[in-house]
Amino acid sequence: MELKSRDGLARICKFKGVETPALMPVVNPNLIVISPAEMRERFGVQAIITNSYIIWKNRKLREKALKEGLHSMLDFPGLIMTDSGTFQQHVYGDVEVNYLEIVKFQRDIGSDIGTILDIFTEPHHTHDEVKKAIDETAKRGKESLEIKGDMLLAGVIQGSIYPDLREYSAKVMNQLGFDYFPIGGVVPLMESYRYGDVVRSVIHSKMILDPSKPVHLFGAGHPMFFPFAVLLGIDFFDSAAYIKYARDDRILFPDGTRHLKDVKYPPFFSPIFDRYEINEIKEMKKEERTRVLAEHNLYMSLEEIKRIKEAIHEGRMWEYAEIRAREHPRLLEAYREILKYGKWLEEYENISKKSAFFYTGEESLKRPIVLRLKSRARKLSLHRSVIRLKRPWSREREMIPDAEVDTPFGKIPVELEDIYPVAQSEFPFEEEDEIPENVEYVKKEEYEIRKIKMIADYQFGRGAGIALFSGEVQLIKSKNTGKIRNVIVDGKHVASMRAEDGFFSLRIEGAKRLHSHIPYPRLRVVVTDDSAEFNKVGKNVFAKFVIDTDPEIRPGDEVLIVNKNDELLAVGKTLMNRFEMLHFSEGMCVKVREGVEKN
């Protein structure tokens, strides 16, 4: 799994040729309405899921799959995952194949990702019942891993509604070394709109699971829940809803489900409604109508995935989820449940975003990036007078108030006026100047020196401002805006202030200053000797070469790359936090800006 783009836990990755987040449409080989080939050619589907037990149980299908292979039988060259029959066992009481036989069968028919035959748990099961089911699943999983061959094997995370058991299950499956992690047992919760329980199930699994491996939310096939699952780091979904709903004359839309008979003006664009009038569809024969509605439902589901990817790319996944949360009271409840885990989510939150912070409601001020701002600003607070100012706070003033500004985010030192999200935010509030008469002022030149030191302390921790900017300081400003762009200290370029988010990009001279004054392991990413030779001449850091890091590192942070002896090699910008760097074995984790040696 290779990380390509992210917005907090929401991420775009490459996995076995598939770009995630991705939807795997469920294909029932006994009753194919839209063929896998058509899904790939017309809809761009890269991965599908089918049920190996259904194939095994049908003698003709079983023989065909063993003879031709699964990809040939389904005429689909992309990624194919197979389920094991767990849900059938849960519904019907038993299956006619044991847990090892079904794994061998999945292996022998050429499944790309097979699934163990786990024990399904229901919301009404007791804590002890669920614990026993997890232990039995783990026993089966251990034996199944020994016979999987080259097939990737999915270890299902169960735990019902018990957060501690979700963590326990995730820990056990992690230790066994599965390749892929579906989160199971959520279908009964989804069907009863218990989205808060689904959120807890996902979070307490994700807290433990290896972040370098895909996480799949089994049975969460309705597009209205996709944004919230992706916000929590879900990579794959499977969906039979596109065909199940079509058979019942139900139509999927991003904001919910409507019955065909109740729709007069389709509220979202679909090629189907471009091709047919709604009344034409209502008058079709059952088989044709089912096919047409299935195409629409599949299109709606895949389009929602595209919207989510664009939100990740633009850095506005939280805003997108907030807007979507207003579409159903239970979704809003789920989103508020997510926000309760803000402290943990902050560990994965980018230092800044491509897009401005948009306020959509009271929940906006509980996003992880706001929690970070409040926490760091509070540590820097000098207990000054509190004022109100219109942005930009310093404007063309020659004298700047020595104060904290009362903002929607809380009290912020005036020197932090340009950092994200303070300056890059939009609120439906009018700003007014309100400065008490007893406030002291400082000259602009003095303010600017205090400003760069304050931002450094916010970005790198207390003491960083002094470490970076002690000496003869020269500020290079933009001719167009008059804002600080580069900082020269004692004739050396130590840092540049980024126009887009107000933070510093370090130069190697700045890295040297921080390295000398900030104790190990702060701000460090420690790499192997094999990597060090490349990093010191400016090559990027790849996750598989990382030995250790500062626990406080966040995605987008400026970091010092060092060897195991704490010798400075380079400076760069992170793509991952510590937990991720220590688990990923593919892809870049630090984009190096400058090494100690020139190429």
Are both 355 and 473 inside the same structural domain?
Answer: no
User: What's the Cα-to-Cα distance from 523 to each of 213, 347, 464, 533, rounded to whole Å?
Assistant: 26, 15, 11, 20
Cα–Cα distance for residue pair 504/521, rounded to 1 Å: 20
- Picking from 322, 340, 358, the residue at the C-terminal end of a domain is 340
Helix (H) or strand (E) holding 173: helix 163-176
Per-residue pLDDT, 294: 97
Per-residue pLDDT, 276: 96
Per-residue pLDDT, 537: 97
Looking at 7, 83, 197, 457, which residue is catalytic?
83
| Distance in angstroms between the alpha carbons of the first and the last residue of the chain | 31
Are both 17 and 155 inside the same structural domain?
Answer: yes
Residue 446 lies in a domain: no
Pairing of strands 22-27, 47-51: parallel
Q: 332 - beta bridge partners?
A: none
Are both 227 and 351 inside the same structural domain?
Answer: no
Residue 203 lies in a domain: yes
Q: Which two tokens stand for residue 260?
A: 């065909």
Per-residue pLDDT, 443: 94
Are both 352 and 470 inside the same structural domain?
Answer: no
Q: Which two tokens stand for residue 461?
A: 């921790």
- Picking from 286, 305, 340, the residue at the C-terminal end of a domain is 340
Half-sphere exposure of 142 (CA within 13 A, CB side): 8
Are both 166 and 308 inside the same structural domain?
Answer: yes
pLDDT band at 427 (very low <50, low <70, confident <90, very high): very high
pLDDT band at 7 (very low <50, low <70, confident <90, very high): very high
Residue 373 lies in a domain: yes
Per-residue pLDDT, 96: 76
CATH of the domain at 374: 3.90.1020.10
Residue 261 lies in a domain: yes
Q: Which two tokens stand for residue 88?
A: 């059938």
Per-residue pLDDT, 396: 75
Cα–Cα distance for residue pair 428/448, rounded to 1 Å: 30
Are both 560 and 498 inside the same structural domain?
Answer: yes
Are both 413 and 485 inside the same structural domain?
Answer: no
Per-residue pLDDT, 97: 81
* Identity of residue 540: N
Burial status of residue 142 (CB atoms within 10 A of its CB: 0-12, 13-18, 19 or more): middle
pLDDT at 94 over 80: no
State the average pLDDT over residues 444-455.
96
Per-residue pLDDT, 120: 87
Rounded percentage of the chain residues whose pLDDT exceeds 70: 98
Known active-site residue 83: yes
Cα–Cα distance for residue pair 444/186, rounded to 1 Å: 58
CATH of the domain at 95: 3.20.20.105
Are both 513 and 565 inside the same structural domain?
Answer: yes
Are both 81 and 102 inside the same structural domain?
Answer: yes
Are both 48 and 32 inside the same structural domain?
Answer: yes
- Picking from 301, 320, 340, the residue at the C-terminal end of a domain is 340
Are both 374 and 469 inside the same structural domain?
Answer: no
pTM: 0.95
pLDDT at 92 over 90: no
CATH of the domain at 564: 2.30.130.10
- Domain containing 560 equals 456-595
pLDDT 10s digits, 530-566: 999 999 999 999 999 999 999 999 999 999 999 999 9
Residue 441 lies in a domain: no
Residue 578 lies in a domain: yes
State the average pLDDT over residues 332-343.
97
pLDDT 10s digits, 39-91: 999 999 999 999 999 999 999 999 999 999 999 999 999 999 999 977 666 55
Residue 365 lies in a domain: yes
Which residue from 399, 408, 405 is spatially nearest to 417, judged by alpha carbons? 405
DSSP string, 92-139: HS--SS-HHHHHHHHHHTT-SEEE-------TTS-HHHHHHHHHHHHH
pLDDT 10s digits, 298-310: 999 999 999 999 9
User: Which three-class secondary structure string do you get for 406-470?
Assistant: EECCEEEEHHHCCCCCCCCEECCCCCCCECCCCCCEEEHHHHHHHHHHHHHHHHHCCCHHHHHHC
User: Which three-class secondary structure string do you get for 226-275?
Assistant: HHHHHHCCCCEEEECHHHHHHHCCEEEECCEEEEHHHCCCCCCCCHHHHH
User: What's the Cα-to-Cα distance from 515 to each of 307, 506, 519, 521, 562, rounded to whole Å?
Assistant: 42, 12, 7, 10, 9
pLDDT 10s digits, 240-299: 999 999 999 999 998 899 999 999 999 999 999 999 999 999 999 999 999 999 999 999
Tally of domains within the chain: 3
pLDDT band at 488 (very low <50, low <70, confident <90, very high): very high
pLDDT 10s digits, 130-146: 999 999 999 999 999 99
Are both 299 and 422 inside the same structural domain?
Answer: no
The overall average pLDDT reported for the chain is 95
State the average pLDDT over residues 327-352.
97
Taking residue 277's Cβ as centre, other Cβ atoms within 10 Å add up to 10
To the nearest 10°, the Cα dihedral for 386, 389, 391, 394? Answer: -80
Residue 451 lies in a domain: no
